[in-house]
Amino acid sequence: MEPLTFFFHKLQMLFRRGRFTEEFAEEMAFHREQVERELREEGMSPDDAQYTALRRIGNETQLREQAHDLLRFRAEGIFHDLQYAFRQLRKNPAHTATVIMILALGIGATTAIFSAVNPILFQPLPYPLAGQIVMIWERHSDGSPWFVNFGTFHGIEERTGSFEAVAALKPWQPTMVGAARPERFEGQRVSAGYFRVLGASPVLGRDFVPADDLHNGPRVVVLSDEVWRRCFARDPSIIGQSMKLDGDLFTVIGVMPAGFENVLAPTAELWAPLQYDPALPTDSREWGHHLRMVGRLRPAITREQATAELDAILHTVGQLYAKGYNESGGTPAGTQLNSLHSEMTHDVRPALLAVLGAVGLVLLIACVNVTNLLLARSVQRHGEFAIRVALGASRIRLTRQLLTESLVLALIGGALGLIVARLGVHALLALVPPGLPRMNAIAVDGAVYTFALGMTAIVGIAVGLVPAVQSNNCHFNRALHQSARVIGGRHHALRRTLVVAEVALALVLLVSAGLLLRSLQRLFSVDPGFDASHLLTMQVQESGHYYDSDANRLLFFKNAREAVQAVPGVIAADFTGQLPLSGDYDVYGVQFESNPTGEEGGFRYAVTPDYIQTMRIPLRRGRLLGERDTIGAPTAVLISESLARRKFGDRDPTGTRVRLGPDVGHSDRPWATIVGVVGNVRQQSLALAPEDAFYVPITQWPWADEVLSLVVRTQGDAAALAPSIRDAIWSVDKDQPVVRVATMESLLAVSEAKRRFTLIVLEAFALVGLVLAATGIYGILSGSVAERTREIGIRSALGASQRAILGLVLRQGMMLAAIGIVIGLIGAALASRALVTLLFGISCVDPLTYLGVVTLLLAVAAIACWLPASRAARIDPAITLRAE
Amino acid sequence: MGNKRDLMPGTLDLLILTTLARAPLHGYGIALAIKRLSDEVLTVEEGSLYPALQRLLLRGWVKAEWKTSETKRRARYYTLTAAGRKQLGIELSQYEQLIAAIGRVLQNT
């Protein structure tokens, strides 16, 4: 019962505080009167009695405080600290605003980056037991992973016991014809187990069943929520209805939920069964290595166990279907299993970690800067602290007060930081490289709020601790007698250390940004192998059964090309099977007559004859393709310089013969003739060395592609011609989709988007770091100049020249910068190693970058030093000394 | 005032409770009573008396009410509560145990 009474009494007192003070005063007054009376009765004079009574009772305020302390709730102390903190912060609005702004930027930037990085790197994929999902690759004898073919997938699916489900998948881009414009969807062809592997199921209708995934089976489709909304207005009776895709009627059997995230193909909007032939006829698409494979491991089965089992299965299957494998590159050595999460994040991990590291440095610089500002402020407040200690405040109480103040600052900074973070996330989303996994999961959510709060607390304590400890080490008795500037000295040692730290951290950031900048410059000075200016590109696709015949396909592309060439402003237009730097990846085998047992691989460009001229790819030897290289004529091939050099050295390969793609290894197939050698073209990325390639007329390839890319060389602005070129194609057949319209220059830029993204973020952070470091130097120097006004006045009165005084202050500041730079160089050398995978063409200790950054930092430091130094030099000794 | 003795620690509460067990008193009265009853040996400082009274109030061992004093002034009178009376018993027996223990130690030297 007692604690309860205690609590109620306290509670009562909380609301009767005013009355308590009055009553206490009255009680004391009564007591004093009684004592006075007693003293007078003992024979003292009234005045003496009054005085003695006062002395006996002592400090009434302290007495009341003591009584108060007993009655007070612990939380009330915090409340008072808060009140006091707010009063302090209001007292010096400029200081408060600066600190809050720096903290808001630091916390905001860190939170924004965290919210982008968290779902990608740290959170599990959005599937139940996502850790069980793995990607399965064929492993070749040289250890490199390969896409699986249907033979491998089918063999594994029939035999494996390690997986709850496995699935094969490939991209599918069906076109829906009907409305004014044809709409091409991004979709996937998947085997029946796909959604079970992911652990997702339709919200409407049903999942695929094995009976859907039969060769020549029923045409069924599962829709994404987005397609259901966009094309069917969320019609609840959609199940069982049909939609016409590529000229065929597909029955809708299911709709995936809105929250379903398809990390394997984030843009996919519909899914249809794979429907490959389990009879596995040799020499068919079933044997092409073009499928991706995923599987969900059974609980308690490790990746190693599963790999061992799959390797054994592959061995059996390899023997069973030796012919099929031999005609498609041989039986793989085994399988390789990677967790789906690492597969998804592997590419972007270095860039994201670099950005995360950079923002960590920015936060660190911001904290150092704020600590410095708080330290400066606490030196000014020493008088106040001394008085509070003299009045009986304990040191713990003072520490608590200072920490409360810094926490309040951090909390306001953190709250504003969340606004900064929201803006930052918007900016990041506009910047992120395409292909960043889980982009739609990037949001300022609960995890982010928790992170921001945690960070705010840590920052609040971190920046408050140094000034608090520092104040406690101070001798307040002395402080009471002296002015702030005399005790400043010791604090300056600490503040100088902090400025050195800031410079060092800024240098690390600047070097990282500098290295990336130089890499990107190098990359963009790489010759892609063709002329990218005034070049418009787009993908043209044929859809519908009319185009089932090769002749009709070729005719359409021929007519479309002619129509585009007739558009005013078009210099030339040609089709190609794949477009450089667009993400296309189309590799086929090449068998040279000179070495019939060896097989090479090369990028296959099935092109209309003038493609090489239109792209302005240089001809090195022989002749280009021409109109005569067409159906009926012997197949003519151009090979890339790299392939020619590797196979023929300095000899001329023209006139020698090769078998290409499906003909490789088939002695009954005719040979094609190499008619020329052309320059290397960067197909995948500017950073990847030129890869082997061959060019063949579309009319001479064994089949006609249904998707080709159009490249258009224009006179003026390439982008401006896009609408008229599209209309020209639709004038031939209005139902054929035209997609992926982009200028070659933008494709070039996008192909390096990952580096560019990292660069922009790092540059921004480096700039912030530089500014903060400069203000740090400026702050400490102007502080020290203000405090040394008298000394400087005496110096100049004694004959020191303005130049000497300028030098004095400059030296002091530049010394700090120099020490910071030396430490920062060591840090940068270590940090830049983490950037290695993002660098191109330069070493991570690129001297030019380091030199440039050091120069920049010195220049900025010099400006930051110059302002206070010139103020010092202008000090008039007469005025200073008179002021004393 | 030369023969003033410091109180043994922990005994102030006991003295106040004992004093109040006789009759309700105001703060000055309590101090006076302790001084007189101890033949001016024990002096209660105002600095300890009033915080102690607050403590006892908080624990619910005494209660306070404003009454008119013998000098026709409004004064705050403290009265022992039932809980306070119980507490006085506890403190007394604790005190006696303590004294007895000290006595045994002293006799053995």
Write the CB contacts of A73 (distance below 8 Å, at least 6 apart in sequence): A10, A14
pLDDT of res. A68: 67
Question: Which residues have a Cβ under 8 Å from the Cβ of A520 and sit 6 or more positions away?
Answer: A752, A755, A756, A759, A840
pLDDT of residue A314: 93
Does the pLDDT of residue A355 top 50, yes or no?
Answer: yes
The alpha-carbon gap from A486 to the nearest alpha carbon of chain B, in Å, equals 39
User: In b/e form, how buried is each residue of A792-825, taking b as 16+ CB within 10 angstroms?
Assistant: bbebbeeebeeeebbebbbebbbebbbbbbebbb
Candidates A439, A442, A731, A701; CA nearest to A575 is: A701
Nearest to B59 among A5, A34, A37 (CB): A5
Q: Is A632 exposed, middle or buried, given 0-12, 13-18 or 19+ CB atoms closer than 10 A?
A: exposed
A547: DSSP letter: G
> Are A6 and B27 within 8 A, CB to CB?
no
Of A2, A33, A63, the CB nearest to B46: A63
Determine, for residues A6 and B26 on separate chains, whether the beta-carbon distance falls below 8 Å: no
Chain B residue numbers touching A33 (CB-CB < 8 A): 73
Q: Which of A252-266, A531-545, A628-642, B68-82 is least confident?
A: B68-82
Strand residues in A29-81 grouped as ranges (E): none
pLDDT tens digits, residue range A135-185?
Answer: 999 998 878 888 899 999 999 999 999 999 999 999 998 888 766 678 889
Interface test with A, best of B46, B61, B68, B70 (most A CBs within 10 A): B46
Q: What is the pLDDT of residue A1?
A: 47
Comparing A14-18, A394-398, A461-465, the range with the smallest average pLDDT is A14-18
Q: What would the pLDDT profile of A709-722 be if each residue is shown by its tens digit?
A: 999 999 989 999 99
pLDDT at A485 > cutoff 50: no
Residues from A contacting B (CB-CB < 8 Å) are 2, 5-6, 9-10, 23-24, 26-28, 30-31, 33-35, 37, 56-58, 62-63, 66-67, 70-71
What number is the ipTM of this complex? 0.83
Ranges A161-175, A546-560, A659-673: which has the least confidence = A659-673
Residues in chain B: 109
Q: What is the mean pLDDT of residues A650-655?
A: 93
- pLDDT tens by residue, A16-51: 667 777 888 888 888 888 888 888 888 888 888 888
Q: What number is the average pLDDT over the span B4-15?
A: 70
Q: Give the Cβ contact number of residue A356 at 10 Å.
A: 17
| Alpha carbon distance A326, A321 (integer Å) | 9
Question: Of residues A546 and A479, which shows the higher confidence score?
Answer: A546
State residue B51 phi and psi, 5-degree precision. -60, -40
With cut-offs at 50, 70 and 90, classify the pLDDT of residue A75: low
pLDDT > 50? residue A770: yes
Q: Residue B1 — pLDDT band, cuts 50, 70, 90?
A: very low
Residues 6+ apart with CB under 8 A from A59: none
Residues of B in contact with A67 (CB under 8 A): 50-51, 54
Find the CB nearest B76 among A9, A23, A35: A23
Mean per-residue pLDDT, A284-301: 91
Tell which of B12, B56, B58, B68 to mutate to test the A interface (max A CBs under 10 Å): B58
Lowest-confidence range among A284-293, A434-443, A606-615, A703-712? A434-443
The span from the first CA to the last CA of chain B, in angstroms, equals 33
Q: Give the separation between CA A741 and CA A536, rounded to whole angstroms.
A: 7
Minimum-distance CB partner of B26 among A2, A30, A62: A30
What count of other Cβ atoms lies within 10 Å of the Cβ of residue A9? 17
Rounded average pLDDT over A625-640: 93
Query: CA of B52 to nearest chain A CA: how many angstroms apart?
Result: 8
Q: Which of A59, A55, A20 lies closest to A35 in space, CA to CA?
A: A55
Mean pLDDT of A288-303: 93
A2 and B60 within 8 Å at the Cβ level: the answer is yes
Residue ranges of E strands in chain B: 25-26, 62-68, 74-80
Q: Among A445, A425, A438, which residue's Cα sits nearest to residue A125? A: A438
Q: What is the DSSP letter of A642?
A: H
- B27/A27 touch (CB, cutoff 8 Å), yes or no: yes
Chain B residues with at least one Cβ partner in A under 8 Å: 26-28, 32, 46-47, 50-51, 54-55, 57-60, 66, 69, 71, 73-76
Does residue A538 sit in helix, strand or coil? Answer: strand
Tell me what the mean pLDDT of segment A284-299 comes to.
90
In percent, the amount of chain B with pLDDT more than 70 equals 90
CB contact under 8 A, A66 and B59: no
* Contact state of A30 with B47 under an 8 Å Cβ cutoff: no
Provide the b/e sequence for A65-86 (b: ≥16 CB within 10 Å): eebbebbbeeeeeeeebeeebe
For A32, nearest residue in chain B (alpha carbons): B28
Q: Rg (Cα) of chain A, in Å, rounded? A: 38
The SS3 assignment for A692 reads coil
When CB atoms are compared, the residue of B58, B60, B75 closest to A30 is B75
Residue of A424, A697, A700 lying closest to A576 (CA atoms) = A697
Structure tokens at A647: 């196979």
Cα–Cα distance, A465 to A471 (Å, whole number): 10
Of A430-439, A654-663, A765-774, B42-51, the poorest mean pLDDT is in A430-439
pLDDT of A89 over the 50 cut: yes
If you measure CA to CA, which chain A residue comes closest to B84? A2
Distance CA A638, CA A658 (A): 11
* Percentage of the residues of chain A whose pLDDT score is greater than 90: 42
pLDDT in tens, A788-806: 777 888 888 888 888 888 8
Beta-strand (E) ranges in A74-195?
Answer: 133-139, 145-146, 163-172, 175-176, 183-184, 187-190
The closest CB to that of B76, out of A27, A56, A58, belongs to A27
**What's the rounded mean pLDDT across residues A44-64?**
79
Instruction: Tell me the average pLDDT of chain A.
Output: 87
Range from A415-419, A666-670, B27-31, B72-76 that averages highest in pLDDT: A415-419
CB–CB contact A31 B46 (8 Å): yes
Q: Model confidence at B3, in pLDDT bands (50, 70, 90)?
A: very low
- Residue A672's DSSP bridge partners are A658
Question: How far is Cα A258 from Cα A266, in angstroms, rounded to an integer?
Answer: 13
Please list, in sequence order, all residues whose beta carbon lies within 8 angstroms of the beta carbon of residue A143, skipping any fewer than 6 positions away.
none
